[in-house]
Copies of this chain bind each other. A is one copy, B any other.
Amino acid sequence: MLEFWYEFASTYSYPAAMRIEGLAAAAGVAVAWRPFPLGPLLHRHQGMTDSPFNVVPVKGRYMWRDMERVCEAEGLPLTHPSQFPRRTLLAARCAVIGLEDGWTPAFSKAVYQANFVADADIGDPEVLRPLLAEVGAAPDAVLEAAQSEPVKARLKDLGDQAGARGVFGSPSFITADGELFWGNDRLEQALEWAVRHREMTA
């Protein structure tokens, strides 16, 4: 099993979300999707109230060029969003709701595509509504539940868990034995670790 911790505003989490299912299936590793809010951790660890890629423009310029190369190599379309980062709490709360019914992976990929391909405002419930319908969820019920205190508390708790486990960025991967890997470019190593650990404990 591999935990996949992701924030919808995170650029490199988009290719990770699109790649993880195929690679994990090939490795025979189950994936536990873990949406979480990265903002509070960036603020706590680094005092940031904006994306690191906006705070440090030279890093931002590099990141967008690197993202172009990464997505091109993976055959993934990419649009530089007209707004970055976007509000993601509502989408993340919807993703939390979907965990029990199994539509979180498909919904999460759709949210990333909305943000980084269609350049749509994923903070807008009207943008999320068709994405929810497409994965078989009931948009009205989900969007209403997403504003409820229990769901807000569950997402906040995931953020607290992430922080307690050493997560400071997205995407992050945590193996069953607690090994943390950060970044889309560490996905393969994380899966290899998960396979090795499974063999050792089997």
Please state if B45 and A56 are interface contacts (CB–CB under 8 Å): yes
A65 interface neighbour in B59, B69, B180, Cβ under 8 Å: B180
With known contacts A65-B180, A180-B65, A189-B69, A168–B46 Cβ distance under 8 A? no
A45 near B69 with CB under 8 A, answer no
Distance in angstroms from A9 CB to nearest chain B CB is 19
* Residues on the B chain within 8 Å of A65, using CB: 180
Interface string of A166-190 (1 = CB under 8 A from B): 1010000000000011100110010
- Check A58 for interface membership: any CB of B closer than 8 A: yes
Main secondary structure on A side of the interface with B: helix
Q: Mark A139-159, 1 if CB is under 8 A from B, else 0.
A: 000000000000000000000
> Is A50 in the interface zone, CB < 8 Å from B?
no
Which B residues are in CB contact (< 8 Å) with A166?
Answer: 58, 61-62
Chain B residue, CB-CB nearest to A41: B58
| A186 to B166 alpha-carbon distance, docked (Å) | 24
Q: Using a CB-CB cutoff of 8 Å, which residues 53-68 of chain A contact chain B?
A: 56, 58-59, 61-62, 65-66
Pair B182/A62 contact, Cβ less than 8 Å: yes
**Inside 8 A of A62's CB, which chain B residues have their CB?**
166, 168, 180, 182
A62–B162 CA distance with the chains assembled, in angstroms: 14
A residues adjacent to B (C-beta < 8 A): 45-46, 56, 58-59, 61-62, 65-66, 69, 73, 166, 168, 180-182, 185-186, 189
5 contacts between A and B (CB under 8 A): A46-B56, A59-B168, A61-B166, A66-B186, A73-B189
